[in-house]
Amino acid sequence: MKAKQSAVVLSQEEIAPTVYDMWIETSLAEQAKAGQFLCVYPGDKSTLLPRPISICEVREDRRALRIVYRVAGAGTREFSGYEKGGKIDVLGTLGNGFPLEEAVGKKVFLMGGGIGIPPILELAKQISREAGALPAVREDVMVILGYRDEKTFLKEEFEKYGSVFIATEDGSVGTKGNVMDAVREKGLGADVIYACGPMPMLRAVKAYAGERKIKAYISLEEHMACGVGACLGCVVKTKEIHHHSHVHNARICTDGPVFEAEEVEI
Q: Which stretches within 1-109 are classed as H helix?
A: 74-79
Spatial separation of the C-alpha atoms in residues 240 and 225, rounded to whole Å:
25
Strand ranges (E), the chain: 3-16, 19-25, 37-41, 51-58, 64-70, 87-94, 108-113, 141-147, 163-168, 175-176, 192-197, 215-220, 235-238, 249-251, 258-260, 264-265
In sequence order, the β-bridge partners of residue 9 are: 24
Spatial separation of the C-alpha atoms in residues 196 and 119, rounded to whole Å:
8
Indicate the class that CATH gives domain 3-94.
mainly beta
Kindly report whether the global pTM for this prediction surpasses the value 0.85: yes
Return the CATH number of the domain spanning residue range 100-221: 3.40.50.80
Domain ranges, ordered by start, for the chain: 3-94, 100-221
Q: What is the pLDDT along the chain (266 residues), one digit of tens a residue?
A: 688 999 999 999 999 999 999 999 999 999 999 999 999 999 887 777 889 999 999 999 999 999 999 999 999 999 999 999 999 999 999 999 999 999 988 999 999 999 999 999 999 999 988 766 555 667 789 999 999 999 999 999 999 999 999 999 999 999 999 999 999 999 999 999 999 999 999 999 999 999 999 999 999 976 666 666 666 667 777 766 656 655 667 877 778 799 999 998 88
